[in-house]
Amino acid sequence: MPLQRIVRVCLEHPTSVVCVAGVETLVDIYGSVPEGTEMFEVYGTPGVDIYISPDMERGRERADTRRWHFDASLEIIVVMNSPSNDLNDSHVQISYHSSREPLPLAYAVLYLTCVDISLDCDLNCEGRQDGNFVDKRQWVWGPSGYGAILLVNCDRDDPSCGVQDNDDQHVRCLQDLEDMSVMVLRTQGPAALFDDHKLVLHTSSYDAERARVFHVCGPEDTCDAYRYVLGQDKVSYEVPRFHGDEERFFVEGLSFPDAGFTGLISFHVTLLDDSNEAFSASPIFTDTVVFRVAPWIMTPSTLLPLEVYVCRVRNNTCFVDAVAELARKAGCKLTICPQDENRNDRWIQDEMELGYIQAPHKTLPVVFDSPRNGELQDFPYKRILGPDFGYVTREPRDRSVSGLDSFGNLEVSPPVVANGKEYPLGRILIGGNLPGSSGRRVTQVVRDFLHAQKVQPPVELFVDWLAVGHVDEFLSFVPAPDGKGFRMLLASPGACFKLFQEKRKCGHGRALLFQGVVDNEQVKTISINQVLSNEGLISYNKFVQSCIDWNREVLKRELGLAECDIIDVPQLFKTERKKAVAFFPDLVNMLVLGKYLGIPKPFGPIIDGRCCLEEKVRSLLEPLGLHCTFIDDFTPYHMLHGEVHCGTNVRRKPFSFKWWNMVP
């Protein structure tokens, strides 16, 4: 309920006051009192409710039930619930009495004009039993919560425009309005009231930098009708009454939640009394609505795929063909970035992350452009940004980034429950260093952005032991028909040595790795016996296993996982400049398209005509209903310290769960 307004009555002449429907007005009768007053009576015309509040403990009573002893501690409260038809068409009369006089000592009259003013928007109250009784000044999370939602208008609905819509102070096409939220100012009352009263829409300078408001000033089917009235340098706007009782506004977000910005934005409308030319206008009433800017949301690999992205470079024709066939099986659209655009930068996973934003009226895919800025740096902005496809990026001011700022180092888990808390949209996974160490970390501006979204609280894993330093080098998630609905795959040197020892025990110690690698003279075959007798390789992989085990425990704790939720995938690593790289193509670095998996072909030992690594992976994953396709990425990707996942990207179907129904 808005704050009460205090009005003082005068004996010498009647007082006129404007009140707002449903808003309490305190009437002060004590400033001008006839001498000898002991009691008073208060009456109002029909439609005027008057209450007396003797004290906080006794509550309030209707004023017209009896005569009241004069006591300065009494409060007189006036409420009107319906707007007036004419100026001063209602009144309150106060009569002052003495026990020594049969007639009233004096009368005071307070003339009332009631106006109904409301600033409204979609408070997203679906499912609430008390939807008409929410506080518009609050934003409440959860299934029984409420509050208006604002999208950052970060797409470009007019392709001929050179900037994103949130950088444009004009409505270029009517489609742009679909990305905005509607705010309506409703007024009811005598039209003559606004001859000397005015309505001002306003916000703080802080909020004005983060949202923009357009006023509908003409026919809504023309772009010229939408006048830019609030945002950036505009913090207040006197509202002309173009449409009488109802004025419509369209609101767009300009900034995502971030460090120093919780995502909450407030707008206010204030009724000002401008009737006295000798004084500045005085406020009578303010109504407020609060919006929350929708967070950017990542999609885990367990959600259904919609579109696959891959780069065509000079030596990956077969790889692109294999990805295209997998996308066809999964029913996905395929987008190929040509070589003249990627300039031989094939790492499309590292360049961007595809997510979305959502309000009750609209869901918008949004690409998050990484600060790595390789040769692919223009692709997200020039090729993906467009009508109904938004764009956001974060770059450090000094432009100092490391390999950890590529988005192969940015993943998200499926929905989980950990330590009694639900994460219905999963948790973001980023790689960094060990607590207290001075190794590489994701740049601060990206970490701030991810934490500020609130709905997928990040978990930082230890990746500084890896040469490239990405979480997708040792983990991935695949869908499963049972349990939690997914399995987490972890690269496992221990599982690989165990497999090779079993094969040697069965007499296959001479079976060779890397047989069949095409057109690569740098690669020499190596037998199972040679691997198992290489003390340096064994020792180093024990170290790698300890690093993965550290992350395993963190993931079990932070994602609420049990051992049955984890599959150990055979994998070996080798050292380059004291950091780890995959010894053979990294099997967990896979492309997940529903039940279809595009897995790096490992070129493992051939036993009985089949690769034993491929067979092991099939035995682990195919019982889950998954289809394994092994893709040769050896020369165009593996030799450059990347694999299938690094060379692809996927836009996925948004969660069915609505982010505003969670409690962060």
Q: What HEC string does 442-475 produce? A: CCHHHHHHHHHCCCCCCEEEECCCECCCCHHHCE
Q: What are the catalytic residues?
A: 350, 470, 472, 646
Q: Of 173, 219, 189, which Cα lies nearest the Cα of 112?
A: 189
- Amino acid code (one letter) for 366: V
Q: Which residues contact 197 (CB under 8 A, 6 or more apart)?
A: 18, 271, 272, 273, 274, 275, 284
Phi and psi at residue 589, in whole multiples of 5°? -85, 70
On whether the CB atoms of residues 373 and 339 are closer than 8 A, the answer is no
Phi and psi at residue 384, in whole multiples of 5°? -95, -45
Q: Of 255, 272, 258, 150, which Cα lies nearest the Cα of 208?
A: 255
**DSSP secondary-structure letter at 172?**
-
**Which tokens hold the place of 294?**
């929708």
Q: How far is CA 310 from CA 302, 644, 650, in A?
A: 19, 10, 9
Distance CA 214, CA 249 (A): 5
- In the chain, the largest separation of any two C-alpha atoms, in whole Å, equals 122
Q: Is the dihedral of CA 654, 658, 659, 664 positive or negative?
A: negative
Q: How far is CA 586 from CA 23, 438, 490, 631, 645, in A?
A: 67, 27, 11, 11, 10
Q: Of 597, 633, 635, 602, which Cα lies nearest the Cα of 616?
A: 602
Q: Of 201, 168, 190, 425, which Cα lies nearest the Cα of 295?
A: 425
Distance CA 244, CA 139 (A): 30
Measured CA angle at 135 (ends 133, 136), to 5 deg: 120
Strand 566-570 vs strand 486-492: parallel, antiparallel, or unpaired?
Answer: parallel
Q: Of 131, 637, 59, 109, which Cα lies nearest the Cα of 348?
A: 637
Q: How far is CA 406 from CA 101, 348, 353, 377, 460, in A?
A: 89, 10, 10, 11, 15
On whether the CB atoms of residues 592 and 476 are closer than 8 A, the answer is yes
**Which tokens hold the place of 214?**
């357009």
Q: How far is CA 356 from CA 293, 363, 366, 618, in A?
A: 13, 7, 5, 33
Q: Of 236, 298, 276, which Cα lies nearest the Cα of 457?
A: 298
Q: Which residues contact 436 (CB under 8 A, 6 or more apart)?
A: none
Q: What HEC string does 83-137 produce? A: CCCCCCCEEEEEEEECCCCCCCCEEEEEEEEEEEEEEEECCCCCCCCCHHHCCCC
